[in-house]
Structure 1
Amino acid sequence: MFNKKKEQQLLENELPSLITLTRPSSVVAEQIRTVRTNIQFSMIDKDLKTLVVTSAGPGAGKSTISANLAVTFAMQGKKVLIVDADMRKPTIHKIFRLSNRDGLTTLLTERSTEIKNIAHKLDIEGLYVITSGVIPPNPSELLASNRMNHLLSEIEGIFDLIIFDMPPVIAVTDAQIMASKVDGTIFIINKDGADKEMVLKSKELLNKVNSNVLGAVFNRVDTKKDQYYSYYGEGE
């Protein structure tokens, strides 16, 4: 028992944002699993292969939720890839404690590079990560390129589920571009960081590209004030 507690403490120290891994029995982890279940039920008539996670503005916790969703899907026995497609302010490599030297930008700009040489295979069974790589001067153009379309088709043939962590919708067009290419979009709303006007504007922008918005996650709720479970994580 002592060794088990020690291993758990090491996990919490090394990967504090991955609460579904470090504290799987917690209320927060259970709520992430509920989000996973709701995503699965929302796609009854079609297999969900690709998913975008975005938000109205910064600080909503979208990267933390993306990472924890990836963990819960992998724990379900799926082969999952999480891609840090926020090539302006990448966070996923920090959450998983990975090098960000090569990543999505490498795959999009160097045609000879193979996915197997870029994707990080984690100790978590079935979970892989592609970090953003070097921040490029033209993220939107890269995401809208034919090369991105080919890459998307390629990874769909390898993985059961691909989660794209995107920048906020209002800030840049990146999330709109990818939302138009994937099976579904999850929208993260920060209770204290996004007003109604910002949320409605984001919804309008996603509707313009015919994004399939599966639902929204109301994040950073204080249980002392509201009868909802809270989720406090690091990252974007």
Structure 2
Amino acid sequence: MSRLQNKKRHLNVLTNSHSPIAEAYRSLRTNIDFSSVDEKTQVIMVTSAGPEEGKSTVISNLAVTYAQDERKVLLIDADMRKPTGHRTFQLSNRAGLSSVLSHQSDLEEVIQETEVSNLYVLTAGPIPPNPSEMLNSKRMGSMMQLLREQFDIILIDTPPVLAVTDAQLIASNSDGVLLVIHSGKVKKDIAIKAKENLLRVNARMLGVILNNVKRKASEEYYYYYYGS
């Protein structure tokens, strides 16, 4: 088995579609769909307060869940500091988001199909020296407008909100934000600070995902609730 295969992220909605975790993702999708009556929620950003809280696992499973609902979905790995999306779906990362924003590749050249029907991925691409500047560029805004015309749902994976400013910058190009919090690991004041940083840039908070909440010793699941 190759090194790439060893690092493949576990997607519960594919490997165990009848599990409580898979059902939780379907519930999350439904809650997002009904979270707004008057405003369209097409572009959703997923971030976390700090590292290793499971945001990339959450967004990957959520992307599959949307694709299974017969919607054309694009997952953008905008974590150009520690990209993981290409490993999750076993894709090349020779060119990606950074290549488009630096004018080295055209958008249509770097969007890749996955083995999941209706699901496409824009990997992060080579790690650039200036991720924040790229994400705050006019080219990023123009790219997002084009993608809105091509996809039903766009999910954007970002670096942790308290680590760098990238998530706050991307929030301006998003219709809503999901904040992933590792239950039992992240202190309440840190979670509140992460939320406040997002609200400071007028991010529309869709809610918070409590990750790794344990019902029983043998069961882990994801729990979603609306943010106020």
TM normalised by structure 1 equals: 0.88
**Number of the residue aligned with 1:219:** 211
Superposed displacement of residue 164, structure 1 = 0.3
Aligned partner letter, 2:128? P
Query: Which runs of structure 2 are paired with 1:1-236 in the superposition (5 Å)?
Result: 17-110=10-103, 113-224=105-216, 230-231=221-222
Amino acid at match of 1:88: R
1:46-72 deviation digits (Å, cap 9, x = unpaired): 221101000001111000110011000
Contact residue 121 and residue 129 of structure 1 kept, 8 A = yes
Displacement of 1:16 in angstroms is 5.1
Q: Distance in 2 between matches of 1:132 and 1:19?
A: 23
User: Which runs of 5 or more structure 2 residues have no equivalent in the other structure?
Assistant: 223-228
Distance in 2 of aligned mates of 1:138 and 1:172: 12
Task: Indicate if the aligned counterparts of 1:31 and 1:229 stay in contact, CA closer than 8 A.
Answer: no
User: One-letter code of the match for 1:73?
Assistant: Y
SS at match of 2:100: helix
Name the aligned partner's letter for residue 149 of structure 1: G
Tell me the CA shift for residue 193 of structure 1: 2.4
Deviates most, 114-123 or 51-60? 114-123
Assess, with a 3 A threshold, how the Cα gap between structure 1 residues 14 and 166 changes in structure 2: closer, same or farther: closer
| Alpha-carbon distance between aligned partners in 1 of 2:53 and 2:220, rounded to the nearest angstrom | 15
Matched residue SS, 1:29: helix
Partner deviation per Cα, 1:117-174 (whole Å, 9 max, x = no partner) = 1011112111000110011111110000001000000111111111000011000000
In the aligned structure 2, how far is the partner of 1:39 from the partner of 1:50? Answer: 11
Question: d(CA) in 1 for partners of 2:136 and 2:9?
Answer: 34
Where do 4+ consecutive residues of structure 1 move more than 3 Å? 12-16
Corresponding residue for 1:3?
none
Residues 27/198 of structure 1: CA separation in 2 closer, same or farther (3 Å cut): same
Q: Indicate the RMSD between aligned Cα atoms, in angstroms.
A: 1.9
| Matches of 1:44 and 1:96, distance apart in 2 | 33
Q: Which has the higher strand share?
A: 2
Distance 1:45 1:77 in 2: 23
Distance 2:25 2:120 in 1: 19
Tell me, what secondary structure is at the counterpart of 2:92?
Answer: coil
Higher alpha-carbon deviation: 122-131 or 74-83: 122-131
Distance 1:68 1:78 in 2: 14
* TM-score computed with the length of structure 2 as normaliser: 0.91
Could you tell me how far 1:15 is from its partner in structure 2? 5.3
Give distance in 1, aligned partners of 2:120 and 2:25.
Answer: 19
Contact 1:186/1:215, CA 8 A, preserved across alignment: yes
**How many aligned positions are there?**
218
